[in-house]
Amino acid sequence: MPSITPARPLPECVTRASCPECGTGLLTVRSDRKFHCACGSSVPGRDLGLNSGRVWAVTRAGHPLSLPDPAAAWQRYVAARTVMENPSKWGPELDAAHRVFLGALAELEAARLLGVQLPAGSDVQIGRVYLACVLNPDGTLSGSNASALGWPCEPCSPSATDPYFQKRYPCRNPRAHVWGQVRDWEKNLRPGEPSRYVVRAPLAPDLRTARRLAAAKCAARAAALTA
């Protein structure tokens, strides 16, 4: 079981294993490789029940977690994207594909953020927030535009003739969007002017965390260049 450290509240699809004796206690693994509860009971890992279609992870504090099997989530993700990328699909069928896509994506993001290995060939964009960053003259982060899989996205939606009725489908290509943003910004640079635009793509559960991580990386790089 992979060892992880959840930094924020657990995703909805992730559950903590409770003590089978008292039913409520939080289990913790110890050096004897058994899970112990404050009620005094101990449970070997092999005796922890796991519903079909779920896998285990263990936090660095030793608490067991269960989450949906990412292999099954990946299959649903691929099937939904196939429908979403077919321009002939619309209406209820497309709406259903969006729901499946978002549900599978949430499970895959939880697995990646909790350190559970995703299936081979999984989308590298899963779990990442892509940021088109503007740097200050000293190399620190000034501001950013963000995109991530599943976020409401106008470029990933068919263009409406009336902007009032423009829809925003779940994003499928955040990496392409932010790199396109950076290239558009660079077109306005004067000859010889250095670019102050970069892309950062941290693994992060939300935009606030992503921007904090991106700012830290920009600051570290700026410090290294001036050392």
In angstroms, the Cα distances linking 114 to 41, 44, 70, 83 are 27, 22, 12, 28
Q: Are 170 and 150 in contact (CB under 8 A)?
A: yes
CA separation for the pair 122, 144 (Å, rounded): 27
* Residue of 165 and 95 predicted with greater confidence: 95
Predicted confidence (pLDDT) per residue in 67-120, tens digit: 999 999 999 999 999 999 998 998 999 999 999 999 999 999 999 988 899 999
pLDDT at 171: 97
Predicted confidence (pLDDT) per residue in 187-206, tens digit: 999 988 989 999 999 999 99
Q: Give first-to-last CA distance, the chain, whole Å.
A: 41
In angstroms, the Cα distances linking 119 to 75, 102, 112, 203 are 10, 18, 11, 17
CA separation for the pair 104, 220 (Å, rounded): 35
Predicted confidence (pLDDT) per residue in 122-163, tens digit: 999 999 999 999 999 999 999 999 999 999 999 999 888 888
CA separation for the pair 25, 162 (Å, rounded): 56
